[in-house]
Amino acid sequence: MKAYLAAAAALSLCALGAPASADVVTYQISASGTGSLAGTPFSGPFTILLTGDNANVSSCDVTCEFLSPLTSTVVTIPGVGSVTLTGATDLGITRSNDVFFLGQPGTSDLFDFFVTDAQQAAFTFQSSYGPVSSSSLFAVGQFKNIASTGGLLTLTPSGTITFQSVVGGVPEPGSWAMMLLGFAGMGLVFRRKATGTPASAAV
């Protein structure tokens, strides 16, 4: 009887751990441009990879939504390397102007880009999106001397920007712990049943 109760308890731990998930979202911005990293100039393509949890989405007014703070913002420049911005960043959309913005909370945007009205209407922070392309930039020149793991980064995008996002559930650390504890408990129960329990210990 004890073995069955232990197995039930282990299964309960697995069940409790399984449903919990964080809505992790990854955004990718690809473009070309010019800039400098730690005083060294560069020119050519670059990629900005943003990650965050869409539980952190807020509204600034009826037409504006933003995810703040992002978990990380990584800029990759071929031939130069990858750096992570050390300050807090956010990503948002102003629907009345059909514009996405990448910025730092409490300061001006790093840069913005326009999309079509249909493209902004199709975007939500809860669903995968794109890729969409935009050649209309706004607030260019504000991504200047931003602190990163590789030194101060200046970036001026030009030409066409490609933007997309992928949303997926990732179990939270506490959920993983409960699931592993449950599986371990089940393993111990089945091992005891396989090796046999002494009659004197049975209830």
Give percent of the chain with pLDDT exceeding 90: 62
pLDDT at 62: 82
Q: What is the mean pLDDT of residues 163-181?
A: 61
Length of the chain: 203
pLDDT at 194: 52
pLDDT at 176: 39
Type of residue at 56: N
Tens digit of each residue's pLDDT (9 = 90 or more) over 58-92: 998 889 999 999 999 999 999 999 999 999 999 99
Tens digit of each residue's pLDDT (9 = 90 or more) over 121-163: 999 999 999 999 999 887 678 999 999 999 999 999 988 999 9
pLDDT, averaged across the chain: 81
How many other C-beta atoms lie within 10 A of the C-beta of residue 147? 13
pLDDT at 141: 80
pLDDT at 133: 96
